[in-house]
Amino acid sequence: MGGEIGVTSSSGTGSTFAFDLEVEVIAWEVEAAAESPAAPETTGGPLKILLVEDHPVNRMILEAWMRSMGHDCAMAESGRIACDMAETTPFDLIVMDVNMPVMDGLSATRAIRRSQGPNLAVPIAVLSASARPEDHALGFAAGADAYLDKPVDFATVALVLSAAPTGRSAVQALHLRRATA
């Protein structure tokens, strides 16, 4: 193996490091193009989904994908806003980020499950980058019916969307990663 390494530095500005390597390519592997997962058919038509996510880019991506599947989305950027919306507006599914300012998703999930509002029995899927078994256990203990890990796997979200019209038990039955503390 051969090559070169170099550095240029300028006082007060910084340094740039560069290297060139001469290597033999044994074989190039062509990756198969990733398929965009399609949502399975749902019963009862488009869903009315409450999407709760504090990060605007994540919210925009999830909303665009769900709307492309024909579903109607209402948005909230905190658990507090989600609870206020859930007190008066019925939804078919709530997708709730866990880590948010003002009120986190697990506190909001517990509040919705305790309320007598129209969403007491609506499936709730929590969404988080915290994917340890104990995080999953906390989500289910709070009243979530599914725990979706970030980065989002849209095929898994599609499964949740397909099960949501038939209720919480159908969404719970999908989840193979139920963790116990």
List, in order of start, the domains of the chain with CATH numbers: 48-174 (3.40.50.2300)
Structure tokens at 46: 């488009």
CA-closest candidate to residue 98, choices 56, 133, 126, 122:
126
Query: pTM for this one?
Result: 0.74
Contact (CB, 8 A) for 42 and 164: yes
CA distance 82 to 110: 12
Residue with tokens 């929590």: 126
For 99-154, what is each residue's pLDDT tens digit? 998 999 999 999 999 999 999 999 999 999 888 889 899 999 999 999 999 888 89
- If one compares 158 and 181, the residue with the highest pLDDT of the two is 158
For 41-76, what is each residue's pLDDT tens digit? 544 579 999 999 999 999 999 999 999 989 999 999
Question: Where residue 88 falls among pLDDT bands split at 50, 70, 90?
Answer: very high
State yes or no: pLDDT of 30 exceeds 80: no
Residue with tokens 């948010």: 100
CA-closest candidate to residue 124, choices 147, 103, 107:
147
Three-state DSSP at 32 gives coil
Structure tokens at 134: 């104990």
CA 85, 74, 48, 82 torsion-angle sign: negative
